[in-house]
Structure 1
Amino acid sequence: MSSLILTPSAAQRVQVLIAMEGKPNMMLRLGVSGGGCSGFQYNIELDDKTGEDDVVSEQHGVKLVVDQTSLELLDGTEVDFVEDLMGASFQFRNPQATSTCGCGTSFAM
């Protein structure tokens, strides 16, 4: 899964969230589903289970879980965590996206 990039900032935030959950075996699950204002929507959650079609990797001390279908749509995507005056959020930079919505949580291909 080397084509999916988790920045050090995102990894650090995920580690904080896992610590808050009190479950050190949690992993970051990334996915894509139909919906959102642009056609596809990014999904991000903590999970402690994997499925048959999941690919697991580790970056910056965080285990990433992505299903095969989502992995194709996320190829080359960088997941970052950004804090600024407007707030804090995970951001996706997907080179395959032909357009994104204003909030950055959905995209078209």
Structure 2
Amino acid sequence: MIAVAAPASYLDPMASLASDIALSPAAAARVAAIAGKQGKPAILRLAVDGGGCSGFQYRFGFADAAEADDTVVETDGVRLVVDSVSLDLVRGCQVDYVESLGGAAFRVENPNAASGCGCGSSFAI
């Protein structure tokens, strides 16, 4: 993991604040594989929206680039970007990729969540 201790707006827009969020090597490998097949940059965006069965829900998507106010971390050449509003709800989290008998998915291990739903895609603070 690469860490730069300055806000992204002060340095390269892809700079990192590693203490805020983390991307596991398994998640980085999966993002790289998907991005390679789709011909897109290996940049995964994590956002939080209102809704879901617990109050907030995670939203994942591929990004072409980071925005000026994004926090960015990089693992094995793959970037995870989180906007400044969502960051308050996921600060300290790790994004992982897990495969099990129930399926495969990106999973957010969020220390801020007071509760969550059974599927792991929504949470409450």
Could you say whether these structures have the same fold, taking a TM-score greater than 0.5 normalized by the shorter chain as the test? yes
Name the % identity. Answer: 51
Aligned to 1:98: 114
Structure number having the greater strand percentage: 1
Please state how far the C-alpha of 1:89 moved relative to its aligned partner: 0.8
Match of 1:9 in 2: 26
Q: 1:7 to 1:26 in 2, by over 3 A?
A: closer
Aligned-partner residue type, residue 122 of structure 2? S
Q: Which blocks of at least 5 consecutive residues in structure 2 are unaligned? A: 1-16
* CA shift for structure 1 position 26: 4.2
C-alpha root-mean-square deviation of aligned residues, in Å? Answer: 1.3
Q: Does 1:40 align with 2:56?
A: yes
2: CA distance between counterparts of 1:92 and 1:64?
12
Task: Give the superposition deviation at 1:87.
Answer: 1.2
Aligned-partner residue type, residue 75 of structure 1? R
- Of stretches 81-90 and 43-52 in structure 1, the one that deviates more from structure 2 is 43-52
Please give the TM-score of this superposition, normalised by the length of structure 1: 0.91
Q: Which sections of structure 1, spanning at least 5 residues, go unmatched?
A: none
Deviation at 1:4, TM superposition (A): 0.8
